[in-house]
Chains A and B, each alone.
Chain A
Amino acid sequence: MRTYTQQFRFRPYRRGVAAMLAMLFLVIFTTLAVAMLAMSTGNVQAASNLSDTARAQAASESGLRWMAYRFKKMTRPKTTTGNITSAVATTLWPSLRTSITNDFATMLLSSERVTGGSGTLVTSASIMTDVNGSAFSLSIQQHPLYVGDPLDARYVRVTSTGRYKAAVRSVSMEFKIDKKVKFAVIGKVPIQLGRNTIVEGPIGMGTAGKYPPIYMLSDFTHFDTTLKNRVASFNTLLKNYHTGNDGRISVNNSAEYKRATDAGYKDSNKDGYVDEYDLFLDRFDTNSDASVTRAEFTNPSTNKLYDDNLFTAIDTLNGPMFDGDPARTGYADDKIDNRDGYAKVRGQITLATTSSPWSSNLAGNGQTINDMITGPIAQTDPTQPAIKFGADSSDLFDLNPANFEQAATNFRPKTGPENGASTKTATVFTNVVISASDANSAAVTERTPFGSLSYQATYRRPVFKNITFKNCRIPKGLNAMFDNCRFEGVTFVETERDIVTSGNSVTTDPGQGMSWSQRKVSGDNFTKDKVLLASGTPTTGQSVTLGSQRGNNVRFNNCTFKGPLAGSYATAYTHFANSWEFTGATLFDNQVDQTATIVSPQVNIEMGSFTSPGSAPSTLVGVTVVGNIDIRGTSVVDGSIIVTGDGAGNTTLAYFGPRDDQTDPGANPEGGFGRLNIRYNPNRALPDGINIAIDVLPEIDTYTEGS
């Protein structure tokens, strides 16, 4: 019985185990299989999702870049207000909103033209970036977005939402509504940067076909023969083996760097480039501490600095931008080192001309573009070339002189009787319209430009000496000479607005402007030797022309300007007829208006001394708006030089010879080169009245992902 019982118990159990085990294995295998399937399917799905997300992200970033591009290229609203405050931005928004809507309406696909939103919000349709389904849509909204928003109405948030299949990604960036020149020097005629001339900021030349559009001389070849020869050899190396026109070889360019090191050059200051500054260090950094002190830069044979002005020009680079801005370390510390950050030009050079015609123009003389651009150009945006050729109007500043008429005219009521009661003593004129009868010295006859061998005309001038003029106005045709005078407050120089052709039609052509200047009213026919009078009855050898009667050719000698100087707008550049010369120790120390020092959009300016460049170190704050300008001597430009005229030969910054028409790289002024520090200052507001479009510029550091 025990046996049977055991048999009964054992046999069913054994049979069941096999089936159970099989089933168990099946269950386990099936479970594993399902798990694996789920996992592998999940992996593929995850990869697919990630892929879609990456494409949506790419689309969203494309949208943000595209909107920045649209803001730059679209027709943006203009304003004459110089300083864009939150209140001004609020008033500008409806126009900006219309600009955005109009710009989107130019899309080629009708489905992409649609815009929505209301009030401070504009939304776009879905804009495809390819034919595979990637797309973005934009939301553009002016701040403040909520109560307590730290950003005011000057800021606009652009959110780009990218989509690909089911994936959605958003990125945002703030854009700022502003109005700035964005150039240290910009003009319509070729720009020449001489020795001891250092530019901190971008340079622009907006006329194609005028050569050379930029001409730069080295700062290191005029005081030491050893260094001069080494710089010359280095520039030959650049010319033969360097690709680009930035005047420096990157240590990351292995082929060029090897050429440089094989030739004995090295990156002495360890800034990643071999350039002229490294040669300067090699020559004068006698203790190899990557800096040059005054003692090291002293000529042992004369016991004087090789060039005090150059030393100071470099040592004072990158100075404070505004009141209260602390000086950087190493500023004016009597030591030249990396903290000063020397570059001949720090910023991009934007040229309307393309490189090919310029190269062709130079080829006849056996020259290349490298011969025209000497010294390192340090572009601050790594995504942009040091020199941008073929720039269009959106890359430059609108230099139409008419845009500056209101800005100039705004200064007029701040002078003369409109500003207050006119008073006049022997030495102080206040709120006066100056008359030739006020002259206190004998009239003089002199050529213009003064002292130039290539003079354009000869003027009879009333002379004013040792007078202080407060908020005074110089009427058209005065053609005066002011000697040792002081100008306080605003000074306004009048001229004829409408320059006309012989057929009496208003012209903007500088050639017609010259004809107008020379057109006889009475007396002899014009020649450059005939003495030009403003009025009266000319005798033999004298002439009254439209230019001498209605223009204003003025010379200021040894004068001091404590405020801005402005002049009427003329429709055309008139060459000598509207020309102001600042000779001797003329000093600009504008204490009245930090937005502008000179606003005279069609006037030719000759500034600085040939013989005593250090005698009157001037500071030109804010914008300097001129028809053309030549600056010699010692000056600091803390703002922007804007040259609106297209009739002059070139804008000469520093010394290029004893004649104003000279371009002599070997010229040596008897009193030294002086120095010019030209710095674009983005913190300075523009004066009111400049009628140009606002900018809507990305604030790169506000980029965020997610909506």
Chain B
Amino acid sequence: MNSTVIVVKRFDVHLSSRRTRRARGFTLIEAALATGIVGFGVVSMMQLFYACTQQNIVGSNATSAMLLANNVQEAMASLPFNDPVTGRTTFGPESGETTTLAYDDLDDFDGATFSPPIDSMLEQISDLDRFSQVVSVVPVYPNKLRSNGGATLEIPKTTYTGAVRVTVRILQDGPDGTAGEIYRTSWVRVDK
């Protein structure tokens, strides 16, 4: 029992003298390493936080964009296909229809850009002024609803076909000041 204790002690003494020296240096290295590891982790985390935050913003913007597109769809839902007064004579706002509130048929919205965007009652939403709603209305063949989908229109806007496609693009101001498209949707309306 005693001899065993002695051995331990010697061992301890031996170790104690070595480790006392190594422990001091190793602690610094260890601290540095720990700091490095933690720092690396923190930096990585910050980058990740940033990326995640960006992603959350993208998701948030996407849902805002959908809301804004739905606002336009809702605002146009109750409008007649043709102007109540001039009928099919004019494509786009008729003479005197200079404000959104005066729009009284679907094609009045063609080419309209709402910035700040509007709600479904055509009131401006100033809180979302970094977004804008861009509306296009183009005639489409009732027998080919995907017609007039390219940059160049195959059916002139003055041609009455009995059907139109309404496309709403939601743009968002970027950091450099230029607006980029973040959402678009479209639907078809037909003359009753």
Interface residues of A (CB under 8 A from B): 1, 4-5, 7-8, 11, 15, 18-19, 21-22, 25-26, 29-30, 32-33, 36-37, 39-41, 43-44, 46-48, 50-51, 54-55, 58-59, 61-62, 65-66, 68-70, 72-73, 106-109, 112, 127-132, 134, 243-246, 254, 354-356, 381-390
Pairs A–B under 8 Å by Cβ, sample size 17: A4-B13, A7-B16, A8-B15, A25-B38, A37-B52, A44-B56, A47-B63, A51-B62, A58-B187, A62-B188, A69-B163, A108-B141, A108-B143, A129-B187, A243-B96, A381-B192, A383-B78
The answer to whether residues A54 and B185 also contact, given A69-B162, A385-B84 and a CB cut-off of 8 A, is yes
Question: What's the Cα separation between A48 and B141 when bound, in Å?
Answer: 30
Q: Which residue of B lies closest to A59 (CB)?
A: B187
Partner of B34, one of A11, A18, A70: A18
The answer to whether residues A106 and B143 also contact, given A59-B187, A130-B165, A384-B80 and a CB cut-off of 8 A, is yes
Chain B residues positioned under 8 Å from A354 (CB to CB): 87-89
Interface residues as binary, B2-31 with A (CB distance below 8 Å gives 1, 0 otherwise): 000100110011011001000100110011
Chain A residues positioned under 8 Å from B149 (CB to CB): 130-132
Given contacts A7-B16, A72-B192, 9 further A-B contacts (CB under 8 A): A15-B30, A44-B59, A51-B185, A61-B187, A66-B163, A108-B144, A130-B146, A384-B192, A390-B88
The answer to whether residues A22 and B38 also contact, given A58-B73, A131-B150 and a CB cut-off of 8 A, is yes
Query: Is B1 close to A, CB under 8 A?
Result: no
Chain A residues positioned under 8 Å from B23 (CB to CB): 11, 15
Q: In whole Å, how far is A363's beta carbon from the nearest beta carbon of chain B?
A: 16
The answer to whether residues A109 and B38 also contact, given A4-B9, A29-B45, A354-B87 and a CB cut-off of 8 A, is no
Query: Is B179 close to A, CB under 8 A?
Result: no
Question: What's the Cα separation between A46 and B37 when bound, in Å?
Answer: 34
Question: What's the Cα separation between A15 and B30 when bound, in Å?
Answer: 8
Q: Which residue of B lies closest to A369 (CB)?
A: B85
The answer to whether residues A65 and B190 also contact, given A4-B9, A385-B80 and a CB cut-off of 8 A, is yes
A50 touches B85 (CB 8 A): no
Counting chain A CB atoms within 10 Å of each CB, the highest count among B53, B62, B81, B192 belongs to B192
B165 touches A129 (CB 8 A): yes
Query: Is B103 close to A, CB under 8 A?
Result: no
Q: Which residue of A lies closest to B15 (CB)?
A: A8
Q: Which residue of B lies closest to A46 (CB)?
A: B59
Q: In whole Å, how far is A81's beta carbon from the nearest beta carbon of chain B?
A: 26
Q: In whole Å, how far is A31's beta carbon from the nearest beta carbon of chain B?
A: 11
Question: What's the Cα separation between A107 and B147 when bound, in Å?
Answer: 12
Chain A residues positioned under 8 Å from B101 (CB to CB): 254
Question: What's the Cα separation between A47 and B64 when bound, in Å?
Answer: 10
Chain B residues positioned under 8 Å from A108 (CB to CB): 141, 143-144, 147
Counting chain A CB atoms within 10 Å of each CB, the highest count among B31, B53, B59, B88 belongs to B59
Query: Is B83 close to A, CB under 8 A?
Result: yes
Chain A residues positioned under 8 Å from B19 (CB to CB): 11
Q: Which residue of A lies closest to B146 (CB)?
A: A128
Partner of A66, one of B83, B142, B147: B142
Query: Is B126 close to A, CB under 8 A?
Result: no
Question: What's the Cα separation between A23 and B66 when bound, in Å?
Answer: 43
The answer to whether residues A32 and B85 also contact, given A18-B30, A37-B52, A383-B78 and a CB cut-off of 8 A, is no
Q: In whole Å, how far is B94's beta carbon from the nearest beta carbon of chain A?
A: 8
Chain A residues positioned under 8 Å from B9 (CB to CB): 1, 4
Partner of B162, one of A43, A68, A73, A385: A73
Counting chain B CB atoms within 10 Å of each CB, the highest count among A11, A106, A356 belongs to A11
B80 touches A26 (CB 8 A): no
Question: What's the Cα separation between A106 and B142 when bound, in Å?
Answer: 10
A39 touches B52 (CB 8 A): yes
A21 touches B34 (CB 8 A): yes
Question: What's the Cα separation between A73 and B88 when bound, in Å?
Answer: 18
Chain B residues positioned under 8 Å from A55 (CB to CB): 185-186
Chain B residues positioned under 8 Å from A29 (CB to CB): 41-42, 44-45
Query: Is B167 close to A, CB under 8 A?
Result: yes
Interface residues as binary, B127-145 with A (CB distance below 8 Å gives 1, 0 otherwise): 0000000000000011111
Chain B residues positioned under 8 Å from A61 (CB to CB): 187
Q: In whole Å, how far is A65's beta carbon from the nearest beta carbon of chain B?
A: 6
Query: Is B172 close to A, CB under 8 A?
Result: no
Chain A residues positioned under 8 Å from B16 (CB to CB): 4, 7
A19 touches B30 (CB 8 A): yes
Q: Which 3 A-B pairs have the closest CB atoms?
A: A385-B84, A131-B149, A43-B59
Chain A residues positioned under 8 Å from B56 (CB to CB): 39-40, 43-44
Question: What's the Cα separation between A244 and B8 when bound, in Å?
Answer: 109
A385 touches B83 (CB 8 A): yes
Q: In whole Å, how far is A128's beta carbon from the nearest beta carbon of chain B?
A: 4
A73 touches B66 (CB 8 A): no
Question: What's the Cα separation between A8 and B11 when bound, in Å?
Answer: 10
A40 touches B55 (CB 8 A): yes
B59 touches A47 (CB 8 A): yes
The answer to whether residues A44 and B62 also contact, given A32-B45, A36-B49, A385-B85 and a CB cut-off of 8 A, is yes
B187 touches A15 (CB 8 A): no
Q: In whole Å, how far is A89's beta carbon from the nearest beta carbon of chain B?
A: 23
Q: In whole Å, how far is B125's beta carbon from the nearest beta carbon of chain A?
A: 18
Q: Which residue of B lies closest to A55 (CB)?
A: B185
Chain B residues positioned under 8 Å from A54 (CB to CB): 66, 69-70, 185
Q: In whole Å, how far is B186's beta carbon from the nearest beta carbon of chain A?
A: 5
Q: In whole Å, how far is B87's beta carbon from the nearest beta carbon of chain A?
A: 4
Q: Which residue of B lies closest to A23 (CB)?
A: B37
Chain A residues positioned under 8 Å from B51 (CB to CB): 37, 40
Q: Which residue of A lies closest to B64 (CB)?
A: A47
Q: Which residue of B lies closest to A43 (CB)?
A: B59
A130 touches B167 (CB 8 A): yes
Q: Which residue of B lies closest to A69 (CB)?
A: B190
Interface residues of B in 51-105 (CB under 8 A from A): 51-53, 55-56, 58-60, 62-63, 65-66, 69-70, 73, 78-89, 96, 101
B12 touches A51 (CB 8 A): no
Q: In whole Å, how far is A165's beta carbon from the nearest beta carbon of chain B?
A: 13
Question: What's the Cα separation between A382 and B192 when bound, in Å?
Answer: 12
The answer to whether residues A1 and B142 also contact, given A15-B30, A131-B150 and a CB cut-off of 8 A, is no
Q: In whole Å, how far is B82's beta carbon from the nearest beta carbon of chain A?
A: 7
B45 touches A129 (CB 8 A): no
Question: What's the Cα separation between A62 and B79 when bound, in Å?
Answer: 15
Partner of B144, one of A5, A11, A51, A107: A107
Chain A residues positioned under 8 Å from B165 (CB to CB): 129-130
Chain A residues positioned under 8 Å from B73 (CB to CB): 58
Chain A residues positioned under 8 Å from B49 (CB to CB): 33, 36
Question: What's the Cα separation between A21 and B31 when bound, in Å?
Answer: 11
Q: In whole Å, how far is A696's beta carbon from the nearest beta carbon of chain B?
A: 14
Chain B residues positioned under 8 Å from A355 (CB to CB): 85-87, 89
Question: What's the Cα separation between A356 and B89 when bound, in Å?
Answer: 9
A50 touches B162 (CB 8 A): no
Partner of A383, one of B34, B42, B192: B192
Partner of B66, one of A19, A41, A51, A382: A51
Question: What's the Cα separation between A26 and B35 when bound, in Å?
Answer: 11
Question: What's the Cα separation between A21 and B38 when bound, in Å?
Answer: 9
Q: In whole Å, how far is A19's beta carbon from the nearest beta carbon of chain B?
A: 7
Partner of A127, one of B45, B55, B145, B162: B145
The answer to whether residues A244 and B85 also contact, given A1-B9, A19-B34, A40-B55 and a CB cut-off of 8 A, is yes
